[in-house]
Amino acid sequence: MSDQQKIDTDDLQTDDVDSDIETDAVEVDTEVVADETDETDGTDDTDEEDVDDAVEGDDARVERLEGEGDIAADYLEGLLDIADLDGDLDMDVEGDRASVSIVGADLQQLVGVNGEVLEALQELTRLAVYRETGERSRLMLDISGHRATRRAKLEALAEERIAEVRASGEDVSLAPMTSFERKVVHDVVTAAGLISESEGVEPRRFVVIRPA
């Protein structure tokens, strides 16, 4: 075999290695985003988020979150065009996360049963933001006011269960919920001065309310 042939073979092997590395990098990126949790109750908070909030100024934080909203809006507009659906997009910053809402006359198919399609679209949108920024996103997506309506119902349910705990002095467990739904319940329980924790494994993770 000539020297030229040896060089060409080595180049091909190097290209194969580079291709493997790029493939592994894509798989790792996907796994990082998929493993992140949206829930921020007392049992699932991370010190890393607290440090990030402390060192980042308000103006920089808002600018970063607005940027996430812009990326998400572009991504969602593309999805709406592909699905041939009409919808108006509203972007906002709510606390420590970007918020994007799609409002339209007939978008129930994008919500799905118990919001399952909405949850999937939210994760895809967060992944799109991650691809652009290299940082995980806690962006919240709502479609046709589904989350707002669900939030009101959950807050009322949490108040009822809090009353039961106070009356009986015993723990009360709620039905399995999504991370968004659990967060709503945790907030109501904390405001009432009681204790709540998430237990179980996804997708059957649930909230337990305990006396203070």
In the structure, what pLDDT confidence band is assigned to residue 1 with cuts at 50, 70 and 90? Answer: low
Average pLDDT of the chain to the nearest whole number = 81
Q: Residue 12: what pLDDT?
A: 35
**Directed axis angle between helix 3-35 and helix 116-133, to 10°?**
130
Q: Residue 17: what pLDDT?
A: 37
Checking if the pLDDT of 2 tops 70, the result is no
Q: Residue 169: what pLDDT?
A: 97
Q: Residue 5: what pLDDT?
A: 41
| Superfamily of domain 149-210 in the CATH hierarchy | R3H-like domain (3.30.1370.50)
Judge if pTM exceeds 0.75: no
- pLDDT tens for 133-158 read 999 999 999 999 999 999 999 999 99
The residue whose two tokens read 């399995």 is 176
Residues 125 and 136 sit within 8 Å (Cβ to Cβ) = no
Q: Residue 104: what pLDDT?
A: 80
Q: What is the DSSP string of 73-107?
A: HHHHHHHHHHHT---EEEEEEETTEEEEEEE-SS-
- pLDDT tens for 25-53 read 333 343 333 334 444 444 443 334 444 55
Checking if the pLDDT of 132 tops 50, the result is yes
Look up the CATH number of domain 47-144: 3.30.300.20
Q: Residue 63: what pLDDT?
A: 94
- How many C-beta neighbours within 10 Å does residue 99 have? 19
- pLDDT tens for 178-198 read 888 999 999 999 999 999 999
- pLDDT tens for 57-85 read 888 999 999 999 999 999 999 999 999 99
**Alpha-carbon gap, residue 102 to 182, rounded angstroms:** 23
Domain boundaries, the chain: 1-35, 47-144, 149-210
